[in-house]
């Protein structure tokens, strides 16, 4: 799966270099056997961001560092390109965003209520206001009318358009990434188990753009089986089209 993610990143037209950062020799061996660059990092890191920052600290020439999480095998190369292009625009601004990320529409009630699927709320400038594992924003009037959020969504399915799924992709200004990892975990971060809340609590603007295509993160065995089925269908469709 990690190799698949790396290949998606390599397919992005504006990505200069792809490095798999890991503390696992098994992953190093698997990745290098596919001819993909990998770096062994400290086993003491408590997060993937810290691991990325360790490698970023050695890349003094880089202005933009992209963190594509290893559990996103279906991430679109075009989505990565969009985030990098947006970060380049933000760098050119006096007070541009320090981080760019992406969102997708939520298509089902089960996904909305799944705490493994992170939700994001944006302001009018496409900056993140908050990230949560809970359904946000909360449709109060509809819930009062129907008795529960599940009932509200079943009776008013258009409410799903209020919600945005956060995609596991970050494009950082390099200096923001290195500073971020010096800050201790924040209260909100620990409460939700979401690192990006640490950035918000320290006043970092996070620009969040719509992804170019849907992706499916792999957090559970069920997610893995769903992704395998989707990829098999995709490959079968490509074979049919070529034929």
Tens of pLDDT, residues 3-15 = 889 999 999 999 9
Phi-psi region of 31 (alpha: psi -120 to 50; beta: other; left: phi over 0): alpha
Percent of the chain residues past pLDDT 70, beyond the cut: 95
pLDDT above 80 for 240 = no
Rounded to whole angstroms, how far apart are CA atoms 122 and 132?
A: 12
Lowest mean pLDDT among 60-64, 129-133, 187-191, 215-219: 215-219
Number of domains within the chain: 1
Q: State phi, psi for 163 to the nearest 5 degrees.
A: -105, 150
CATH code of the domain in which 121 resides: 3.90.550.10
The closest of 39, 46, 29, 34 to 5, measured between CA atoms, is: 34
Q: What is the pLDDT of residue 235?
A: 59
Q: What is the pLDDT of residue 88?
A: 97
Tell me the pLDDT band of 237, cut-offs 50, 70 and 90.
very low
Q: State phi, psi for 237 to the nearest 5 degrees.
A: -65, -40
The average confidence (pLDDT) of the chain is: 91
* Total Cβ atoms within 10 A of residue 88: 15
The residue ranking higher by pLDDT, 176 or 219, is 176
In the numeric block, the tokens 């770096």 are attached to 39
pLDDT above 50 for 238 = no
Host domain of residue 47: 2-242
DSSP states of 92-123 = HSTT--SEEEEEEE---HHHHH-TTS-EEEE-
Rounded to whole angstroms, how far apart are CA atoms 167 and 178?
A: 21
Q: What is the pTM of this model?
A: 0.88
52, 219, 169, 6: CA torsion to nearest 10 = 70
């Amino acid at each position: 799966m990690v190799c698949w993610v790396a290949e998606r990143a390599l397919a992005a037209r504006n990505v200069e270099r792809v490095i798999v950062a890991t503390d696992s020799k098994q992953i190093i061996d698997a990745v290098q056997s596919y001819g993909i660059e990998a770096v062994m990092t400290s086993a003491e890191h408590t997060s993937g961001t810290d691991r990325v920052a360790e490698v970023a600290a050695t890349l003094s020439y880089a202005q933009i560092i992209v963190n594509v999480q290893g559990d996103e095998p279906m991430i679109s190369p075009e989505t990565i390109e969009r985030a990098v292009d947006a970060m380049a625009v933000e760098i050119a601004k006096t007070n541009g965003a320090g981080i760019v990320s992406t969102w997708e529409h939520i298509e089902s009630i089960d996904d909305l209520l799944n705490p493994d699927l992170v939700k994001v709320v944006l302001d009018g400038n496409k900056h993140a206001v908050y990230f949560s594992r809970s359904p946000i924003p909360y449709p109060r009037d509809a819930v009062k009318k129907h008795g529960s959020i599940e009932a509200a969504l079943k009776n008013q399915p258009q409410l799903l358009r209020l919600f945005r799924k956060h995609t596991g992709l970050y494009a950082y200004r390099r200096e923001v990434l290195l500073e971020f990892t010096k800050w201790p975990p924040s209260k909100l971060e620990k409460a939700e188990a979401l690192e990006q809340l640490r950035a918000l609590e320290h006043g970092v603007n996070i620009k969040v753009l719509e992804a170019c295509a849907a992706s499916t993160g792999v957090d559970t065995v069920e997610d893995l089986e769903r992704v395998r089925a989707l990829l098999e269908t995709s490959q079968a469709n490509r074979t049919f089209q070529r034929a």
